[in-house]
């Protein structure tokens, strides 16, 4: 039977909501996705317009037109740029890790008001996840807790196996962060941080990369270098393979 759902798209709903309320709704959504995966189903198109939130802040996941099983998938799977995992952009099969990436992209959007690559250009969104790493959501919203910064980044890892945070842990971290202090703010230098992010991806893909960070004393060179190195290690780069001057 078709059941009507009375609610609004989750990104619209989240506009005026405190982070704690957003995280509580996110936990409920995670439980819905967990139920799908428990019966070997992958939604494959989790995005803001496919999550409706009722007046009592309960999310519903809709539009199962792309839903499939990891072992049986249609040849031309539909996906939404900005929320599609890198493997989908490469034409590879989706998996439970694909839904986790979409959850990370959705959470990023709810916390910051924009998708992880901060553009509406579909051509760019089909390319950027393959060559870059999103900046932490606290770069755009200094109220985001540290653990949520880390969790969101992990859900957006390029390597599918690295995203496989257990659902119970996802929910525990999200609920625990409701009373957590914000992460140390990333103030300014957004564009300056993006070049090292792309260099990290090139290095992870096997290219030899040299990054030169220059500027006047006190301009933030060390901050950018430390930020880039932390991100690189988090994404699997070996600290001993690099030399910092």
**Active-site residue, 45 included:** yes
Task: Return d(Cα 129, Cα 86) in angstroms, integer.
Answer: 6
79, 104, 98, 81: which is closest to 26 by C-alpha? 104
Catalytic one of 6, 16, 40, 45: 45
Q: What DSSP element (H or E) covers 60? A: strand 59-61
- Burial of residue 212, with CB atoms counted within 10 A of its CB: 0-12 exposed, 13-18 middle, 19 or more buried: exposed
Q: Which residues contact 165 (CB under 8 A, 6 or more apart)?
A: 100, 151, 154, 155
Task: Return d(Cα 158, Cα 45) in angstroms, integer.
Answer: 17
In 84-198, which ranges are E strands? none
Angle (CA) 101-175-68 rounded to 5° is 30
Task: Return d(Cα 108, Cα 115) in angstroms, integer.
Answer: 6
113, 139, 235: which is closest to 192 by C-alpha? 139
- Burial of residue 43, with CB atoms counted within 10 A of its CB: 0-12 exposed, 13-18 middle, 19 or more buried: buried
Length of the chain: 245
Which of the residues are catalytic?
Answer: 45
């Amino acid at each position: 039977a078709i059941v009507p759902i009375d609610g609004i798209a989750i990104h619209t709903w989240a506009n005026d909501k405190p982070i704690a309320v957003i995280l509580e709704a996110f936990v409920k959504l995670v439980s819905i996705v967990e139920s799908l995966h428990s019966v070997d189903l992958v939604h494959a198109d989790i995005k803001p317009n496919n999550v409706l939130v009722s007046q009592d802040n309960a999310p519903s996941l809709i539009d199962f037109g792309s839903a499939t099983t990891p072992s049986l998938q249609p040849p031309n799977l539909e996906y939404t740029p900005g929320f599609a995992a890198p493997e989908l952009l490469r034409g590879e099969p989706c998996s439970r890790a694909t839904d986790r990436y979409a959850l990370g992209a959705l959470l990023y959007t709810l916390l910051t008001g924009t998708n992880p690559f901060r553009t509406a250009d579909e051509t760019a969104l089909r390319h950027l996840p393959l060559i870059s790493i999103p900046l932490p959501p606290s770069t755009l919203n200094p109220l985001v807790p540290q653990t949520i910064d880390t969790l969101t980044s992990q859900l957006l890892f390029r390597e599918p196996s690295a995203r496989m945070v257990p659902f119970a842990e996802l929910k525990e971290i999200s609920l625990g962060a409701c009373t957590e202090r914000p992460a140390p703010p990333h103030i300014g230098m957004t564009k300056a941080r993006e070049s090292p992010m792309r260099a990290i991806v090139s290095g992870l893909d096997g290219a030899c990369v040299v990054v030169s960070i220059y500027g006047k004393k006190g301009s933030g060179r060390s901050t950018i270098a430390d930020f880039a190195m932390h991100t690189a290690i988090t994404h699997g780069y070996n600290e001993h393979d690099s030399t910092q001057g």
